Chains A and B, each alone.
Chain A
């Protein structure tokens, strides 16, 4: 158990819908990262937050957004969902903004039908 929690575990929805994925980092970790794992793209970095502020952006679509709240939990919002958004979404946390070791949550499996 990494100490990072993600909800829900599984999510099945339809095209065009909007969903919210939630992540709670390890106790004391200030940095949260979101990654997407799909068969064709592999593991890709989406976005990073540090202590409530956006720190870095990766290959995140404009239809996707995220935020980190004062209690440090984070939410990833995916809207206007397409079939290609079906993937495993991981949240990871680390102690600092540039701290090198990241601990991953169990992931949320999103299926878009």
Chain B
């Protein structure tokens, strides 16, 4: 069974600084996708960034980028120039690629990020 592990329950960063959130996963599949979701105090789940396993290039979305190490099954999220609005719970998630019978996301336990002014 696939699993997703986030080893940092809480992280803190100074405003304008850079922070990296860690995620590892376990799967025997070769085709899959990885995501980072943000959950602010409003509880809404917001997709931050996605990575296709077949792509070697790391995904980037503005101040958010990932370091995808497929062999190591590692998928970390880097937030640059941290802003107060980045304070939230961040979830790493995995889903099988096309052809899988189950299309559900498998989530890690989350990392609570605090941003200090």
Contact = CB atoms under 8 A, between A and B. Distances in A.
A98 B31 CA distance: 12
A45 B45 contact: no
Interface of B: 33, 37, 42-47, 50, 91, 95-110
A104 B101 contact: no
Contacts of A2: 44
B35 to A, nearest CB: 8
Contacts of A58: 104
Given A56-B101, A103-B47, A107-B43, A45 B33 contact: no
A86 interface: no
Given A42-B110, A100-B33, A101-B50, A106 B43 contact: yes
Contact of B103 (A48, A88, A90): A48
Task: Classify the interface of chain A: helix, strand, loop or mixed.
Answer: strand
A48 B47 CA distance: 19
Interface residues of A, number: 29
Nearest to A96: B103
A110 interface: no
Given A35-B104, A45-B104, A100-B103, 17 more contacts: A31-B103, A33-B104, A35-B105, A42-B108, A43-B91, A44-B107, A55-B101, A56-B104, A88-B43, A92-B45, A96-B103, A98-B98, A98-B100, A99-B103, A100-B98, A101-B47, A102-B95
A74 to B, nearest CB: 14
Contacts of B98: 98, 100
B68 to A, nearest CB: 15
A56 B102 contact: yes
Contacts of B103: 31, 33, 48, 50, 55-56, 94, 96-100
Given A100-B33, A100-B50, A100-B97, A106 B44 contact: yes
Contact of A90 (B45, B102, B108, B110): B45
A104 B106 contact: no
A88 B42 CA distance: 12
